[in-house]
Homo-oligomer: A and B are copies of this chain.
């Protein structure tokens, strides 16, 4: 393999311009899909099937799965729940299969399926994730889900936080990875305030989900890493 690279894709719409060969994709949707996926898998959900569209999500109802759908920050009517992490507690999800569609995150996952592996990152599992990534002999691509294909500060800052933990002399950072790291270093001493400037935080305040934001900015409350296996996210075996 050519020298190991760390790249950041700032929007799912840019994924077609990235070579995914020998690449582990880390999908990020901090507010809130990737945080809820990490929390749900850590809380014993058997698997989470990410789907792009509402219709596809509904088609799983006959299997007795939990159906979760979020659009524009809200639970879609007729679904069991959305992407608030508080819906992914052990009592609700242990042993269950969840089918989830969200505005941004689940679509990003589906677009990464050509990668060698697709894992899910959030502040909730950042140390566990970066410890594992450090051991992999592959290029790393952090994929920010963004908001409707536009740049989002919180996803980029998380990529920067992971990169700051991973960077070593041998790794080549692309421009977006450099920028993400800079933004994280600027904001790290007070992430809630720093990300409070972000438009998605403002959007979420209107929805009265500030406690979700605070929850998603906790570090290392779980050690599980969700990984795509076939069409579903499952817990990565740390021997794997």
A interface with B by C-beta (< 8 Å): 8, 10-11, 13-14, 17-18, 147-153, 156, 174-176, 178-179, 182-183, 186, 197-200
**Cβ contact of A13, chosen from B17, B152, B175, cutoff 8 A:** B17
In the complex, are the beta carbons of A175 and B151 less than 8 A apart?
yes
Whether A178 lies near B198 (C-beta < 8 A) is yes
Q: Are A198 and B175 in contact (CB under 8 A)?
A: yes
Cβ-defined contact, B13 with A14, below 8 A: yes
A126–B190 CA distance with the chains assembled, in angstroms: 32
- A186: B residues at CB distance < 8 A: 182, 186
User: Bound complex: CA of A14 vs CA of B11, how far in Å?
Assistant: 8
The 8 Å CB contact of A148, one of B17, B147, B182, B197, is: B17
Query: What is the CA–CA distance of A147 and B18 in the complex, to the nearest angstrom?
Result: 12
- Is the CB–CB distance between A179 and B183 below 8 Å? yes
Residues of the B chain whose Cβ atoms lie less than 8 Å from the Cβ of A179: 151, 153, 156, 179, 183
State the Cβ distance, A214 to closest chain B Cβ, in Å.
19
Q: Which of B17, B151, B182 contacts A149 (CB 8 A)?
A: B17
User: Once bound together, how far apart are the Cα atoms of A153 and B14, in whole Å?
Assistant: 16
Chain B residues near A197 (CB, 8 Å)? 178
